[in-house]
Amino acid sequence: MTTIVVALEVCRSGFPAEIAIDALIIHVKFSTHVVAVFVCYVCRDIFWFTGPEKRFAFRRLQAFFAQGRNIFPTTQTMQPLPAILPTEGRHVIHLLFRVEHGQWDLLDKSSRISAKTALAELVREIRSTPDTQLLIFSMVTPKADLGFMLITPDLHLADSFSKRLAVALGPDILSPAFSWLSMTERSEYTTSDEEYALSLEKEEQLTAGTPAFEEKMDAFRKRMTKYLKDRLEPNLPDWPVVCLYPMSKRRVPGQNWYALDFEARKKLMAGHARVGRTYSGRILQLITGSTGLDDDEWFVTLFSKTTSDIKAIVYEMRFDEVSAQYADFGEFFIGLQLPLDALYSRLGL
């Protein structure tokens, strides 16, 4: 903590902010304390940067850390943490931010280029990480400006990447507008081999063990294997329109989803799924579970090529009994997937 102590002592001595920054940089250059890497994020509070000359001094400190961050032996002294992995599936974090243009405007041209380069490099790092995806959105309407969807197995990695994304453009440039933690999961209502075999015997009058029966069963198993992989380890499309919202099942007298027996719930969900399948090729849906992880029980991410299909499926689903009787929805967000350079332009960065 000696680095912060030096900063506080210089500040209390009444030196101008620029001299205080010089003293801090000199001390940090010879400091081996890991805490030093965090000073650039707390020094605004230490020095009460309010005037233009103090903001300039702060940017000098930012530049110093951007150029000399590797002098600190953090990677040599920190032991890797054991991965926190789910039994199956992956962790999913949705992050929505507002861009603080007032703070951005305080940066000079060189600092802005450095900030955008830093975010671009972080995006490349995340996307090159095994079993990890990062989607980036320009959020429509002033609810938020910028959105990230991060999918990766290890919770430590998800947490680390999400925190680095929040400050990649610099301190106070992005302010949180919304976030959600969930996990990819299998549905408990999928059709089993036994149920499908029974339907072949009853509905198609096929006899078990015959070539026609076995051909149907083999095709079913292949479909279910792909379906399960797509749910647990999704490979999400680059379709431009994205709709995000949380939801839960109701637990009120007369409309308590969890008071229904399993067979009743499964029958209702089968009808719900039939509606969804009519939008195949137009809507890709990823439902992730957040029970015990966030405020509602699921998070829904819809991908489409047009807002018309988003609006249509959400509207039609409202008349399905599962939604009409038992579903509660949270706030809806619409985003647009854009390349990073186009996103910078859209956001005015």
Beta 241-249 vs 251-252: how paired, if at all?
A: unpaired
Q: Quick one: tokens of 22? A: 């010089």
Backbone angles phi, psi at 281, to 5 degrees: 90, -15
Residue that the structure tokens 């995806």 belong to: 133
Q: How far is it between the farthest Cα atoms of the chain?
A: 91
d(CA 18, CA 57): 5
CB 333 within 8 A of CB 143: yes
The DSSP code sequence of 221-290 is HHHHHHHHHHHHS------SEEEEEEEEE-EETTEEGGGS-HHHHHHHHHHHHHHHHTTTTTEEEEEEE-
Question: φ, ψ for residue 243 (rounded to 5)?
Answer: -120, 130
**Distance between CA atoms of 217 and 43, rounded to whole angstroms?**
65
Nearest CA among 285, 281, 259 for reference residue 272: 285
Q: Which positions are catalytic?
A: 245
The torsion angles phi and psi of 60, rounded to 5 degrees, stand at -65, -40
